[in-house]
Every structure is written in C-alpha cells, then in structure tokens.
Structure 1
Amino acid sequence: MTAVLHVDVDEFVAAVEVLRRPELKGKPVVVGGRGDPSKRGVISTANYEARRYGLHSGMPLRTALRKCPGAVFLPVDREAYEHASRDVMEVLRAITDALEVWGWDEAFVETNDQPEVVARAIQSAVSNKTGLSCSVGIGDNKLQAKIASGFAKPAGIYRLTAREWPEVMGGRRTEELWGIGRKSARKLSELGIDKVSELAAADEERLSLSFGPRTGPWLVALGRGVDHSRVSSVPRRARSRSLELTFDEDVEDPHVISAEVTRMTSRLAEHSMSSDRPVSSVTVKIRFAPFVTRTRIRRLPEPSIEVEAILEAAIVALGRFELDRPVRLVGVKVDFG
C-alpha cells in the first residue's frame, strides 16, 4: 500500500549555521535580518535552545535580545541555505522518484515500501550527507504526513493514518490542521466548530454558505483527515515574488520611499524578464510607525515582462498612499499571470 512521508529538516536555517560554526552547538542561536539586534529586523528562525526562552519566528530582534541576552545573533545567508537544501533534496531523490519539494527544508515522498524503514533510511542518509537531522511524518496522504512530522520533532518518526486520526486529532483545535489559519478558525468558532471532531461531523451545505461551495466541503474533508492531492515531482512555481526592507530609523522623506520601491520593483521586474514570467499585478506594502500596515495594488492592463510597465504599476500603487506619517517598512510584490 502506498504511503506518504513528509520530511522536515529540524531547525534548518539555525542548524546550517551551527554546522558552519560548531562552537555554537548548545547555545541559543537566532537568525534574522542583518544579525544585529540593535537594528530593526525580525527573527527568521531560532534553534531549540533559543525557543526555550520564548523566541520564535517573526519576533523583533530587539525583543529577542531582551528575552535572551545570551543569544547569538546571525544575519540571513540565503546562498548557504540554498546550497544545504540542494544537498538534502539530492539525498531524497536518490531514495525515491516521487518527490515533491516544499521549500528549503521540507518535502513529500511517496513510497510503496515499509514507510518506517524508508523513514529511517532517509534520516540516516540526510545525516551522513549533510550533518542535518530531520523529522519524518507518515500518513495515508499529504495532510496526515504533514501534521505527523510536527509530532515527530525533533529527529523522530510519527505515523498518523486514517486509523489513528480520530483519537489523535479529534480533540484538537481546528487551527492545528494544515490549511486552516487563525481567520478561518475564528469563523468556524463563530459557527460553533472549535474541535477537529466537530469539523469532521459538520454539515457541508452549512459550511458552503459561510465559506463557499468549494471551501466548505474541503474544510469538512480536512476535519476527517482526507486529502486527495497527489505527490507530484513537477517543480512548484511560485505564484508571486516579493521584496521588502525595514528601515533602521523611521523615514519621512517620500523620495527615499519612492527610491526603495523603484529599486525593489526593478529587481523583481528583471527576475520576471529573465524567467519569462509575465507580471499581472504589483502590490506595494507600507508599514507606518508604530506598526500599521497598508497595501495598495495596481493591475497591469495585460500581463507583461517589460520593466517599464511593471515600474509604472508600482508607482501608481505607491501614489495611492498618503505618506503623511513616518514609515518603518516598505515592500513590493509581483503576481505572475
């Protein structure tokens, strides 16, 4: 019988940094921004030692320093992580032909062999090749395997199939399901659905009225642990690409903000042209001090890879803001059409 495995490298970014600097082993390590907690920036990842102090992804670096003065702060090094990721995925491809990569540090694997045996082989091969450890979840489908790998952390193996689903997941809150965020969980709660077992027993028509004819039945399926999506080796293509910058100090000069929007849009447009992926819309994000975020979007008349057309859309989007307050962050996102 076919089984699906979800392989998740433990604390990937921090673990790569510790491999590069063995003297950091056992110390709280934080990776984020330029690695300077006196400057603005947020945590990209923190290792398990740092998490014991309450540090987590998205936390401001300054807050992290207050919570854990002894932490080691390091800048983000994308090239190093991409290199390590390639090594991990090469190991997985040598073990199976059915591999679906989900970013730097995780992938789905399909196997017809004994899944626990395959999981142990993966852990051993990844460790021998890269020095990294990984957790492996086993399920009948991708949903179950993804959730199971969370239970397996760190460096363990966990099985969650249809047989175990009701007992393991039934009493848990709906937001613990892969695919349900806080907003959807709140909406479900307003309907009296807080637990996975309640979602599994929910009426599809009722949920369709609140969430739509496709999403309603899909949510019920999640509650039952059902996922019909297949493991696909076809490379996933991002639907969008974005850049953003957090200023060290609040900026009030509109010319500085405009220059950053132009710079980031130009980089994104160059990527669009080099990869032959037309842009259908441009979104500009502004975060005003102290922490109010607004976005404005401009759709192109037709998808384009022309730098001038993409830049024009970004400038129009930026022009829809009233830059009457200090700005702490600016970002640009392009959607491919």
Structure 2
Amino acid sequence: MSAAESRRIRRIAHLDMDAFFASVELLRQPQLRGLPLVIGGGRRAPGWLGDDALEALPPEQIPLEAFRRLGQYTGRGVVTTATYEARQYGVGSAMGMMKAAKLCPQAYLLPADFERYRAYSARFKAEILRHATVMEDRGIDEVYIDFTDAPDGQLQGGLVLAQRIQQAIAEATGLSCSLGVAPNKLLAKLASEWHKPGGIFILMPEEVTQRIWPLACRKVNGIGPKASARLAALGIETLGQLAQVPEQQLIEQFGNSYGAWLHRVAWGRDDRPVVVESEPVSMSRETTFERDLHAVADRSALSQVFTNLCTRVAADLQRKGYAGRTVGIKVRFPDFRIATRAITLDHHTQDAAEIRRVAGQCLKRVDLSRRIRLLGVKVDNLLPLEQAQAADEAARNRQASDPQQLALPFTDNP
C-alpha cells in the first residue's frame, strides 16, 4: 500500500441547491432578484398572470406591479419554496400559504413550474457526474457524492473537488449550490447548511465532536419535535449532552433501534453508503394531533388537516418528479391501534385534488366513531413522472385496441 493510499480517508459530500425553485425562477425573471419571493399555490399555466398582453412580454420585461403578492392569496395551498429574503420573515417550505401570507404579505408570488425545475435538476446532476461518478440522488435539488476515490477527492479534505463541482454547476446552469464534505452522510448534510448560500464547509474527522456537540439535537434530520421534547425533559438539549448519556439508557428511554441511533448520532457516526440507484417506493405525510380529535365534533379542523396532508404529499411528488397509482390513509386511535385503507387507480397521479378525493374515499371505509390521535396520507406504486405517463398511455392504447377490456376506475385494497 502506498503512502497516499494509507492516508486515504472516507469523504462524503452533501450538495444542496440554494433555494432551487426560486433560483430557477429568478433566472427567468431577474427583476424579482433581491426581493421576497414565494413559489407555490398552484402550477404555472397559461393565464397565470391574468393578462395575455403581459404574458406575451419577455419574462424579464414583466413589470413588478404585474406580479401577485402573497397577501392576495386565498386557498389551502402550501409553500413550495421561498427566497432567503422571504425566509427571514419565517416563511418556509411546506408551510400553509395563508400562514405565510400573514408573515410576509409583501412577498411576490409565482406558481410552480416543475417541468422547468426537473430540466435544471438534470443539468446540475449531469455536471456532478462529469467529476464524480458515485452520486446518490436524493430528490430534485440535493445529492450525496462519494469523494473518497474520485479524482482529487482527497485534496484539502475534498475542497478542491467541491470547488470544481460548484463552479461547473454555476457555469452550466447559472445557479448556486452549497456543499458539506465530511466523513459520512450524517455529517455532510449538517455541514452543507453551515455556509449557505453558495458556501463550502470541510469537516475533518478530528473536528467532528468539537463542531457538532454545541448543536441543538433538533438540527439532526431524524430528531423531530417530539423526540426533541422528550430529550429536553431529560435535560438533553445539545448533541454534546446527548453524547454523555450511556447508550443503554437511551435504549431504555427510546427503544432498541432509535436509542442506539441517537447514541451514534451524538458521536457523529454513520456507516450508510452512498447509493447510486435509489428510487422511492412511496411518499407520505402524517401528523399527530396535540389532542385527540373526533370526526364529528372536530370536523372542520380534521378536514383542513386532511386537505393539507394531501396537498403536501402532492407537492412532494411534483417536486421530486414522481406519480403514484395507490392512494392510502392511516388512522391511529388513542389506544394506539391503527387502521389503514388504500385504493389503487387505473392510472398514476400527482394531483392534489385527486389524491384528496381518493383518500377521502379510503377514510369513509374506516370506523370513525372513536377519536383520532394521528392521521396520515400516502401514495404508493411510484414511477418517475415520464415513465408513469408512458405507462398510462400504453394502458390506454391497450384498452382502445381491445374494447372488451374494462377499465375499472380503481381497486380497493384492504
């Protein structure tokens, strides 16, 4: 083994595009640059400005007063993304649009254009693969990259390759990205947030505990509000405090799997490989209520939550470029018993209204005489959107060529 090989250490990068959807829109409409901007509330389609003459103008020539403001929005949509100028007011992804409108009514509002975002996503990922071939696709705007054996991936802890990739993406797309390079995926994802936007952070093995122990536990993806609250009740606020708790004590408090995982996280340990090919099999959203709700007494609140869950699942599908055939629901009761129902369609969908309709049919098949502790919505049998559209077209063609084939609108799944 050569001296260079003996010094080779594991280097994993997490690359995250900066405010991706909004940044793509600003390439098209630079007059909105530097202003609070929110993407969401529907898809871009002819008539989105409400004025044919304005839509006929080159996008960069549309006057600011022609764009809608967030404060004018009414509906139940969710924020897809927001520029950093809007985020400083507390606006964030997956937030209800009406709530965002109260926080930043002056923000400009644009509908989402997922076809355009997917095209830019393909372009920036192609640039990455020119420099490093081991890449895990984590959605439309983020990836993990294994620098360990990539050309120059070890130089300055990965800084040289990170700068090269960042520059290549900027030249090919006009967009900025942030990278964290660290010993593993857990640390790389944390590090990619530390110099946003447009930054690079290199975390070396000997710096791990010094850097992560001051962080709040909630900064780790996987430690949510409920786990954070339980940790806080034990006097544990930071990763450093978490690291001092014996693993067995965490297992006793949180169970075998999650307790052991918390212990590893506190010490910055993560052995997950960078997976080159990974397709999601489902996407879901769920919420646990602060108090148990009843289908009759709390009908309005439940309906609003249910619609929001369906809208968020649809937004996830659209953002990541997938469509699914099976729509399902999950209900957990106060005794922790769970009821699930699902319906499989004869076509793929990523449409919020259709998901809401079918999920509502699923919900009607559950005994809701008891109060509800948790409600969830899920879409299964996913395909990338283009493959889903091709499969649906092929199915329609088969049906047209064989009139005896009966196309059932859906199939119930218990």
- TM-score using structure 2 length: 0.63
| Partner in structure 2 of residue 100 of structure 1 | 136
| Partner in structure 2 of residue 246 of structure 1 | none
The residue correspondences of 1:147-296 to structure 2 (distance < 5 A) are 147-240=190-283, 272=324, 282-283=328-329
Q: Establish whether residue 61 from structure 1 lines up as the match of residue 97 from structure 2.
A: yes
Amino acid at match of 1:75: P
| Partner in structure 1 of residue 21 of structure 2 | 13
> Which range is displaced more, 72-81 or 233-242?
233-242
Superposed CA offset, 1:55-74 (max 9, x none): 22244434434443432101
Superposed displacement of residue 136, structure 1: 0.6
The answer to whether the Cα contact below 8 Å between 1:282 and 1:313 also exists between their aligned partners in 2 is yes
| Partner in structure 1 of residue 40 of structure 2 | 32
Deviation above 4 Å: which 4+ runs of structure 1? 270-273, 304-308, 310-314
Superposed displacement of residue 124, structure 1: 0.4
Q: Establish whether residue 90 from structure 1 lines up as the match of residue 131 from structure 2.
A: no
Go from structure 1 to structure 2 and tell me whether the alpha carbon gap of 1:227 and 1:332 turns closer, same or farther (over 3 Å shift): closer
Which of 378, 382, 394 is equivalent to 1:333?
378
Q: Establish whether residue 110 from structure 1 lines up as the match of residue 146 from structure 2.
A: yes
Superposed displacement of residue 223, structure 1: 0.4
Go from structure 1 to structure 2 and tell me whether the alpha carbon gap of 1:332 and 1:145 turns closer, same or farther (over 3 Å shift): closer
The answer to whether the Cα contact below 8 Å between 1:282 and 1:314 also exists between their aligned partners in 2 is no
Superposed CA offset, 1:119-141 (max 9, x none): 00111011011111000101000
Amino acid at match of 2:24: V
Superposed CA offset, 1:231-280 (max 9, x none): 110123233368xxxxxxx999x9xx99xx9xx99xx9x9556xxxxx5x
Paired with 1:68 and 1:312, the residues of 2 have a C-alpha distance of 34
The answer to whether the Cα contact below 8 Å between 2:282 and 2:378 also exists between their aligned partners in 1 is no
Superposed displacement of residue 312, structure 1: 9.0
Go from structure 1 to structure 2 and tell me whether the alpha carbon gap of 1:132 and 1:298 turns closer, same or farther (over 3 Å shift): same
Superposed CA offset, 1:165-214 (max 9, x none): 22222122111123211111111222232211121121111111222112
Go from structure 1 to structure 2 and tell me whether the alpha carbon gap of 1:42 and 1:237 turns closer, same or farther (over 3 Å shift): closer
Paired with 2:376 and 2:248, the residues of 1 have a C-alpha distance of 40
- 3-state SS in 2 of match to 1:226: coil
Paired with 1:156 and 1:282, the residues of 2 have a C-alpha distance of 40
Amino acid at match of 2:378: K
The answer to whether the Cα contact below 8 Å between 2:38 and 2:108 also exists between their aligned partners in 1 is yes
Total equivalences in the alignment: 295
The answer to whether the Cα contact below 8 Å between 1:46 and 1:57 also exists between their aligned partners in 2 is yes
Paired with 1:96 and 1:144, the residues of 2 have a C-alpha distance of 19
Amino acid at match of 1:333: K
Alignment gaps of 5+ in structure 2: 1-7, 43-67, 286-298, 332-337, 348-354, 370-374, 383-414
- Between structure 1 and structure 2, the one with the greater Rg is 2
Go from structure 1 to structure 2 and tell me whether the alpha carbon gap of 1:321 and 1:46 turns closer, same or farther (over 3 Å shift): farther
| Partner in structure 2 of residue 320 of structure 1 | 366
Paired with 2:252 and 2:376, the residues of 1 have a C-alpha distance of 35
- 3-state SS in 2 of match to 1:125: helix
| Partner in structure 1 of residue 180 of structure 2 | 137
- 3-state SS in 2 of match to 1:103: coil
- 3-state SS in 2 of match to 1:154: coil
The answer to whether the Cα contact below 8 Å between 2:79 and 2:92 also exists between their aligned partners in 1 is yes
| Partner in structure 1 of residue 83 of structure 2 | 47
Amino acid at match of 1:52: Q
Amino acid at match of 1:93: L
Paired with 1:146 and 1:38, the residues of 2 have a C-alpha distance of 34
- 3-state SS in 2 of match to 1:233: coil
Go from structure 1 to structure 2 and tell me whether the alpha carbon gap of 1:105 and 1:173 turns closer, same or farther (over 3 Å shift): same
Superposed displacement of residue 305, structure 1: 5.6
Paired with 2:281 and 2:194, the residues of 1 have a C-alpha distance of 28
The answer to whether the Cα contact below 8 Å between 1:7 and 1:149 also exists between their aligned partners in 2 is yes
Go from structure 1 to structure 2 and tell me whether the alpha carbon gap of 1:84 and 1:271 turns closer, same or farther (over 3 Å shift): closer
| Percent identical | 33
- 3-state SS in 1 of match to 2:16: strand
Paired with 1:101 and 1:60, the residues of 2 have a C-alpha distance of 27
Paired with 1:189 and 1:69, the residues of 2 have a C-alpha distance of 34
Paired with 2:239 and 2:25, the residues of 1 have a C-alpha distance of 37
